[in-house]
Amino acid sequence: MGRELQKRKRRSSRAKVTMPNRRKKALNPLGNDIIAKNWNKKETLSQNYTRFGLVAKLGKTTGGTAPSNKSNLNTATDPLAAQSANQGLLQVREVKVERDAAGRITRVLRDTNPLRDPLNALDSDSEGDDGSGEQLRREQAQQKRYEEWSGFQEDASRPEVLRALEREAGRPTEKTVRHASEREVEWLRRLVERYGEDVAAMARDGKLNPMQQTAADIRRRLKKAGLVEA
């Protein structure tokens, strides 16, 4: 009986489904010029990344996760329970800064008394002092209220490759302005000569618009080519 089943499987026209073990897209860690110049072929990917100050694996699950049915249960929380103050969010604060003519921050003025506590400038053992000593301490506290900030300094202990990658990532990029080609402008001019600004009629024309571009797409192309008013 078993032999007959094996013969029947061989005669089946349905191919066996097998999953490939190789990646669909090969990993290329040398795609960046900075990493390619400092790459050591005698070390593994993890060893190179550790030397660069990077991580080869995030160490946790990334991306979205499927919702769980248990999350809908016991959603009511105790109003008297102690909760975290920040709830995992960033604390937004306002500071005073000074900028130069180019708009770069040159100085940050830090407030040593953010809660505006009037007793902050007084010492605990100043009950026996006279008014002049209290006034002097207030003036000294007012002078120390702001401290000068000399700007962000690069940490020399960090790897040079990591600092070079950060400088490259922070470099401003210029937006590439794309123009319509000569053939496209010629095609749009034929449409304008026949229909004027009626883009709906242009979209319905099967001869001049063989690719069946929509009216909105034709209007966008006309504005880009400067054939109609924006």
Average pLDDT of the chain to the nearest whole number: 76
Kindly report whether the global pTM for this prediction surpasses the value 0.85: no
* Token output for 221: 């192309």
Residue 120 lies in a domain: no
Overall domain count for the chain = 1
Region 115-123 average pLDDT = 65
Residue 6 in any domain: the answer is no
Inter-axis angle of helices 45-52 and 160-169, nearest 10: 80
SS3 109: strand
> Looking at the domain assignment, is residue 212 inside a domain?
yes
Q: How far apart are the first and last CA of the chain?
A: 79
**Mean pLDDT value across residues 70-88:** 54
Q: Is the pLDDT of residue 88 over 90?
A: no
* 190, part of any domain: yes
- Give the C-alpha separation, 5 to 179, whole Å: 66
Residues sharing a CB contact under 8 Å with residue 186, sequence separation 6 or more, in sequence order: none
Residue 190 lies in domain: 182-225
Q: Is 206 inside a domain boundary? A: yes
25 in a structural domain = no
Q: Which segment of 129-143, 175-189, 212-226 scores lowest on mean pLDDT?
A: 129-143
In a domain, 187, yes or no: yes
Flag whether 136 is in a domain.
no
Which amino acid, residue 26?
Answer: A
